[in-house]
Amino acid sequence: MVEDRMVWLNGDFIPWENATVHIMSHSFGRGSAIFEVISFYDTARGPAVFRLEAHIDRLFRSAELLDMALPFSKDDLCDAVAGTVKRNELNKGFVKVVCFYPEISFEIIPSSSQLSVSIFALDPEQDLGAKGDPFTEGTTAYVSDWRKLDPRTVPIEAKAAANYLNGMVARLEVQKKGFEHAIMLDTQGFIAEGGTESAFVVKDGCLLTPSTGTVLKSITRMSILEVAQEAGIECIEKQLKPELLVEAEEIFLSSTPFKVLPVKQINDRKLPDAPGPVARKIAELLNAIVAGNVDRFANWLYIVE
């Protein structure tokens, strides 16, 4: 049960039910929280956190973009993530790191610059009753009428809570139409990404994904590109026209929780063979890496001692 989990807050472990903030706190009222969602896996050497240093680097980049001062070092936070997994006696699951302004604040600028840092670890099967295998089940997607946040309006590279209303409205829109995931275009009309996922298409055997600038610098996206190159799959990052969604042999979404999520229907177009060969190859390699079976990528795993 999720309620039994212990939460790391500013260096101490506290019970789940005590991990609360006031409704008038700045981060609740204005969405000024930054966060990371990080996966960890069961390996022969114990639980291993996937690309922990890259996630913590991105957290620091989010803080920098929003002029926030993190009160812990990168090493402290890596230790704290590993410590939270250990304290909760978990072998696989997710960690969420949330940094927020707890002070009561009536203004747009927080009343105090003191950030709090919290870390949650859970196993979605044990704690949330999650079932099934997203890779084999796949998903359905629809191109939302909502456009991805324009990078000239807010720093979209920051993983900030307030940016997520964008993905929420897109997802709500497509779910009302009977689809599971949204694919959003950027304000210039090129493919951007999902609400909380990166987007990939395969055309003539080549793996294509939108270049960064209008999309989040996703850790899974970056990992997939590296793994695909290793597997000899040609990869191109560039602006992608939405027509590609009609022509592509394969379409898949990616993110920390499920890595590769094949799209089996996009709008009224069915892709009955999803997952296709490229998605399969990448998923196979990623599965081997997160299980700790690929020496070349051993440094992607942070072993929880």
Cβ within 8 Å of residue 167, ≥6 positions away: 182, 184, 194, 195, 196
Cβ within 8 Å of residue 42, ≥6 positions away: 91, 92, 291
Nearer to ligand PLP, 6 or 119 (CB): 119
* By CB under 6 A, residue 88 contacts ligand PLP: no
Minimum CB separation from ligand PLP for residue 209, in Å? 11
DSSP 191: E
* By CB under 6 A, residue 144 contacts ligand PLP: no
Per-residue x/- marks for ligand PLP, 162-201, CB under 6 A? -----x-------------------------x--xxx---
- Using DSSP, state whether 71 is helix, strand or coil: coil
Nearer to ligand PLP, 144 or 256 (CB): 256
Minimum CB separation from ligand PLP for residue 215, in Å? 6
Q: Which of 27, 62, 255, 265 binds ligand PLP (CB under 6 A)?
A: 255
Nearest 5°: CA angle at 44, between 39 and 45? 75
* By CB under 6 A, residue 218 contacts ligand PLP: yes
The whole-angstrom separation of Cα 126 and Cα 124 is: 6
**Among 32, 31, 50, residue whose Cα is nearest residue 42:** 50
* By CB under 6 A, residue 216 contacts ligand PLP: yes
* By CB under 6 A, residue 214 contacts ligand PLP: no
* By CB under 6 A, residue 27 contacts ligand PLP: no
Q: Which of 32, 139, 220, 265 binds ligand PLP (CB under 6 A)?
A: 220
Minimum CB separation from ligand PLP for residue 197, in Å? 5
DSSP string of 92-152, one letter each residue: SEEEEEEEE--SB--SSS-S----EEEEEEE-HHHHH---S-HHHH-EEEEEEEEEPPPTT
Binding site for ligand PLP (CB under 6 A): 37, 167, 193, 196-198, 216, 218-221, 255-256
